[in-house]
Every structure is written in structure tokens, then in C-alpha cells.
Structure 1
């Protein structure tokens, strides 16, 4: 029997639920509708083959299975965050630079230190 791998959007929904304790808060965090998040969570639960959370008052709590899947889900999310952070840093750096017609970088004097620090952070 083949095991399906959840998409990153399903895992992000699960993590938002786990970290916020509420489907509606998870929807706000992810800028999605509550029904969309509920659908994603249902699909993830089906993939896992067991309940990952249960309702408690107005919020939710993770089951033992949900707790077991939490750390792996976080590890899978981290590379995406790392990628996004790198893109943002490089875009910020690029916006401080002006390309001359010769293809060389002309920097304003106040940004010369930034270039040195960017080379260290992003070799």
C-alpha cells in the first residue's frame, strides 16, 4: 500500500492549528477561510489515517498522533522559511544596489558596509 505524502499547505494548516489552538485562528494566520482550513485538516487526517486533533470548548487540542506528527511537520516547514528569508535578504540587498551600464555594482557610500555584511551572510 502506497503512502501519500502531504503537501506543504496541508502541513502549514496543521502547524497553524497546533500553534494557535483554533481552526479560525489558523485561518487568520494563513489568510484563508475557515472552511478551507477545515478541508485541508480533514485531508491531512485522512492521509495520516488517524485523528490528529479533537475539539475542546472553542478550541482544539492535538491527539497523541497529532503531537507525534508535530516535530516532523515543523522540520519540513523550516526549509521553506529559510528559503523565504534568503530571498527577502537578497532582494533587500539588491534594492540597495544600482547596476551601472557596464554591469558593475555602484553602491551609495552608506551601503558599502551592507555589501560586506551581505557577502558574509550570503557568500
Structure 2
């Protein structure tokens, strides 16, 4: 009998954050040099950090270690909210783009919390 194990790509929060970071990357590439060098780099780093911390936590063995990295991703979500708001305030993105990015940034904390709850309840170690 074959066992099916949960894979990283099965996690909704990972898939959402990975797609979000690629969307931010595409937006930042279109900015002028100054905007890319200031807001752009930090926005991309924060966006990449969300899925990277979920992936790193998923790869850890101990429950507390996993959860610690999932919480780090929460911080990166909040950082992205700030960069997204700054990008809007400085006319680097349209209100429509801001609304689309904000929709994902509003959903991610709930998805990450579900992963934390699942990890805490299901893992013994």
C-alpha cells in the first residue's frame, strides 16, 4: 500500500505566496532604475521571503522549528503590505494593481495560520 505524504506544493499558502512573489517580480521589472533600486528590491525580497520561509519551515523536522519559520512568513506578509502601500502612494502601481496585491496579502495570514494550526495539532515531535 502506497502512502501519500503532504508535499510543499500541496500547501495553499505556499502556492499563493509563490505566485504573489512572481507577480511582484514582474511589476518591479517595469519600474525605472531608482524605484527598482529603492522600493523594488525590498518589495521583491519581502515577497520572496514569504514562500521561502514556508518552504524552510516545511523542511524542518521538529514542530516548533516548523512553526517558527511559518511565523517569520507572517512578518514578511506585513512588510509586503507596507511596500505595496508605498508603491501606491508613490504612483508606482495603479489602484487596481494595489487592490489585487492587497487581496492576496489579506488572505495569506489566514492560510499561514491554518498551516500553523495543522502543524501544531498533527505533529507529535
Shorter-normalised TM range: 0.3 to 0.5
TM-score by length of 2: 0.32
Question: Counting strand residues as a fraction of each chain, which structure ranks higher?
Answer: 1
Question: Counting helix residues as a fraction of each chain, which structure ranks higher?
Answer: 2
